[in-house]
Amino acid sequence: MLLDNIKLSGKDAYLLANRTAAGGGSINLGGANPQKGITPEIGKGEVLEISGIFLHIESGADLLPLFSRQSNKLVSVDVKKEMFPELFKDPYKHRVHTISGYDDFNRGAFENLRVMEVDGYPTLVSEGTQPCKWISAIYQFPRQFTIDSAAWYIPTSKLTPKDGFSYELKMHIWNNDHIQQPASHIIVLASTGTKPDADRIKDNIQPHAKNIKAYQMEFNATVNFDTYFRERQVGNNDTQSTGRPLLRAINLLEMVEPVYDFYSLEELMAASAKYEFFQERDQELKGMTLALIATAALEENEEYSITVHSDKFKIFQARLAAELKLKPPAIDK
Tell me the pLDDT tens digit for each residue of 206-223: 988 999 999 999 999 998
Is it the case that residue 77 has pLDDT exceeding 70?
A: yes
Residue 212 to residue 193: CA distance in whole angstroms: 27
For the chain, the maximum distance between any two Cα atoms, rounded to a whole number of angstroms, is 90
Contact 91, 83 (CB under 8 A): yes
Q: What are the helix (H) ranges across the chain? A: 101-107, 265-270
Position 239 confidence tier, pLDDT thresholds 50, 70, 90? very low
Residue 104 to residue 108: CA distance in whole angstroms: 7
User: What proportion of the chain, given as a percentage, has pLDDT over 90?
Assistant: 75
pLDDT higher for 331 or 116?
116
Residues with Cβ within 8 Å of 330's Cβ and at least 6 positions away in sequence, in order, are 1
What's the confidence (pLDDT) of residue 137?
A: 97
Average confidence (pLDDT) over 223-241: 55
Is it the case that residue 237 has pLDDT exceeding 70?
A: no
What's the confidence (pLDDT) of residue 25?
A: 85
What phi and psi, each to the nearest 5 degrees, are found at residue 66? -80, 0
Is it the case that residue 241 has pLDDT exceeding 60?
A: no
pLDDT tens track for 113-167: 999 998 899 999 998 778 999 999 999 999 999 999 999 999 987 777 777 899 9
Contact 105, 115 (CB under 8 A): yes
79, 80, 82, 87 alpha-carbon torsion, rounded to 10°: 130
Average confidence (pLDDT) over 228-246: 57
What's the confidence (pLDDT) of residue 192?
A: 95
Contact 115, 124 (CB under 8 A): yes
pLDDT tens track for 248-272: 999 999 999 999 999 999 999 999 9
Give this prediction's pTM: 0.88
pLDDT higher for 235 or 313?
313
Position 22 confidence tier, pLDDT thresholds 50, 70, 90? low
Q: What are the helix (H) ranges across 85-124? A: 101-107
Residue 21 to residue 178: CA distance in whole angstroms: 55
Residue 214 to residue 175: CA distance in whole angstroms: 7
Position 2 confidence tier, pLDDT thresholds 50, 70, 90? low
Contact 260, 294 (CB under 8 A): yes
Position 234 confidence tier, pLDDT thresholds 50, 70, 90? very low
Per-chain mean pLDDT for the chain: 90
Round the CA-based radius of gyration of the chain to a whole number and report it: 26
Position 243 confidence tier, pLDDT thresholds 50, 70, 90? confident
Residue 298 to residue 23: CA distance in whole angstroms: 24
Contact 302, 88 (CB under 8 A): yes
Average confidence (pLDDT) over 326-330: 79
Average confidence (pLDDT) over 77-81: 97
pLDDT tens track for 269-291: 999 999 999 987 778 899 999 99
For residue 69, the one-letter residue type is R
